[in-house]
Amino acid sequence: MEAAAIPAAVAHDDHHHGPPIANRSSKVEPEVLGILLFIISELMLFGAFFAAYFFIRVVAKTDWPPHGALPVEVAATNAVILLSSSLTMHWTDVSAKRGNTYAMRVGIVTTFLLGSTFLFIQINEYLSLGFNPTTNASASIFFGLTGLHGAHVVIGLLLLFMSAVRIFKGKVGPDHHKGLEVPGIYWHFVDAMWIIVFTTIYVL
């Protein structure tokens, strides 16, 4: 009887291949936890740039703005655009969980267009500033911080584009929305970071 149980156990084990399933001690989904940990690392990167910025302005007492006045109105307009895109991104995510395909498509396209508009305005701002990264230390940190954020916007737009492709292919819905939720979390981070950059660089 014991010998008969051994082949049965072996046969049962044959159905399992690869390493054992990982034990999950957190209620947070692995994909969401991954993007949150990534955002924490990005906060450290931005923190290094902000440390350099405050050193230049407070410790070294370098002239600010780098060359005349900064276009605060333009940057404020961009802030409104990004905040609007955060709302449309949230709408897209909610629509996915509710299975509203039309709202998903409108939301993701609107979010992508708003993000692209932000990037277009920022590039035009660079071209009309009258200084460049090599002008002085203040100019370098201005381009460093705003350019770092712009690079994150580009990455966010790529993620939005991939999400849009999945939405239009019908691969996103109430049961399959993690591929949209994770880029959404990243996009909200990008939006929130611009508010911090705008307040620090253009207002203070």
In order, the DSSP letters of the chain are -HHHHHHHHHHHHTT--SSPPPP---SS-HHHHHHHHHHHHHHHHHHHHHHHHHIIIIIS---SSSSS---HHHHHHHHHHHHHHHHHHHHHHHHHHHT-HHHHHHHHHHHHHHHHHHHHHHHHHHHTSS--TTS-HHHHHHHHHHHHHHHHHHHHHHHHHHHHHHHHTT--BTTB-HHHHHHHHHHHHHHHHHHHHHIIIII-
Average pLDDT taken over every residue of the chain = 86
Question: Do residues 77 and 121 make contact, with C-beta atoms less than 8 angstroms apart?
Answer: yes
Question: Would you place residue 2 in the very low, low, confident or very high pLDDT band (cuts 50, 70, 90)?
Answer: very low
- Convert the pLDDT of each residue in 121-159 to its tens digit: 999 999 988 888 888 888 899 999 999 999 999 999 999
* Domains in the chain with CATH codes: 28-203 (1.20.120.80)
pLDDT at 9: 45
Whether the predicted pLDDT of 62 surpasses 90: no
User: 173 has which bridge partners?
Assistant: 176
Question: Would you place residue 17 in the very low, low, confident or very high pLDDT band (cuts 50, 70, 90)?
Answer: low
Of 13-22, 91-100, 112-121, the range with the lowest mean pLDDT is: 13-22
Question: Would you place residue 6 in the very low, low, confident or very high pLDDT band (cuts 50, 70, 90)?
Answer: very low
